[in-house]
Chains A and B, each alone.
Chain A
């Protein structure tokens, strides 16, 4: 591995200063499960002379819930803390679909949703799930903080709108009422440890047998994780039924813009979007009805 300098700031301000002072040559590091692998193989897209370990910054380790503010997950919180958290388990249990899926136990002890989002892989398994939950990211930079919906963060494969001098601080999930359910599923050719051929995050809210809100988001079928607005909107106001869900799945399939690669052809991935959207919505509906 090439030489790196190592910094471990204790405040958001110090981290932002280190990032902006380095003129684009510093990278934040949460768990390092993407960053260290990329540095080891000399990935030309990772130009880091300085690694800024963000794990000592209190805001980035926050994991808190209140009914008014919803759930806040600091950018460095590891997957195992997410699936071990009582509030996540009682109010946002579908996030565990992603937290228990990423990389096996050794990775889950270190990897964060924040790193998954900032790494911006089209296949990032937490991203469609966060999008389906309506999550909003808080980003700190030299001129203050800004809030950006998660679906707007990724701009291309491994590219985000987070600047070189900015830091993702936390991700906020608005409270969901009774009648809410969500799910993330992916398709991989084996049972564990693989990269999604396609993945779908879905959420629904159901009142009196009708959808009052719904979101569908796709992984691995476009240059970035994708929010398919029209699929969710098509459900709102509809009675819960196989036809309504199939219609949303058709819209998700139509919105997918996959490529063919060693993991699957574009046609196959489109087909998966149909099947997985249906399954994710059905599970979300079951969970919504179980919860209410």
Chain B
């Protein structure tokens, strides 16, 4: 097997196509942050535990620290940068703002992406369903209570 073979990939990020020649070991999180300089997606752990790196790949939420960029070749990726429409916040962003769903904010991009994926599948989740849907995201600050309220706010807003 020849070493040092890079791979050409094209990934759509928030609707824009990005092509690059990448090392197979490059993580999608690194591709977003380092290759594309889109640092909204955070990296919080080494073990796929914290969920800070959550993005949406072809409609499913995924931890981008545990996806190789080459695995996302041809996929449509949505990151936190893709939520707002110009100056208009996405309902989930508004929910976090209105309900104080963050303190330090480190977990917030991943929380919001998990919440968006949850609301896509289940537009009217119960509190329990919200907590279950966000089980893969860790927050060290808020105690989760206001995060649940923020998701409920977004669900109400998206309904109306």
Contacts and interface: CB of A to CB of B under 8 A. Distances in A.
A32 B71 contact: yes
Interface residues of B, number: 33
A104 interface: yes
A105 B133 contact: yes
B4 interface: yes
Interface in B94-115: 114
B7 to A, nearest CB: 6
B86 interface: no
Contacts of B3: 3, 5
B24 A6 contact: yes
B57 A109 contact: yes
Please classify how large the interface on chain A is, using the bins under 10, 10 to 19, 20 to 34, 35 or more.
20 to 34
A32 B135 CA distance: 20
B50 to A, nearest CB: 11
A37 B114 CA distance: 20
A1 B132 CA distance: 31
A80 B56 CA distance: 14
A229 B66 CA distance: 38
Given A192-B135, A193-B135, A6 B4 contact: no
Interface stretch (A48-56, A166-174, A215-223): A48-56
A106 B47 contact: no
A37 B45 CA distance: 11
B62 A49 contact: no
A107 B50 CA distance: 12
A146 interface: no
Contacts of A2: 25
A103 B48 CA distance: 10
Interface in B71-110: 71
Interface of B: 1-5, 7, 23-25, 27, 46-49, 51, 54, 57, 60-63, 66-68, 70-71, 114, 117-118, 132-133, 135-136
Given A41-B46, A103-B136, A106-B51, 8 more contacts: A22-B1, A32-B67, A36-B66, A105-B114, A105-B133, A106-B136, A110-B66, A193-B135
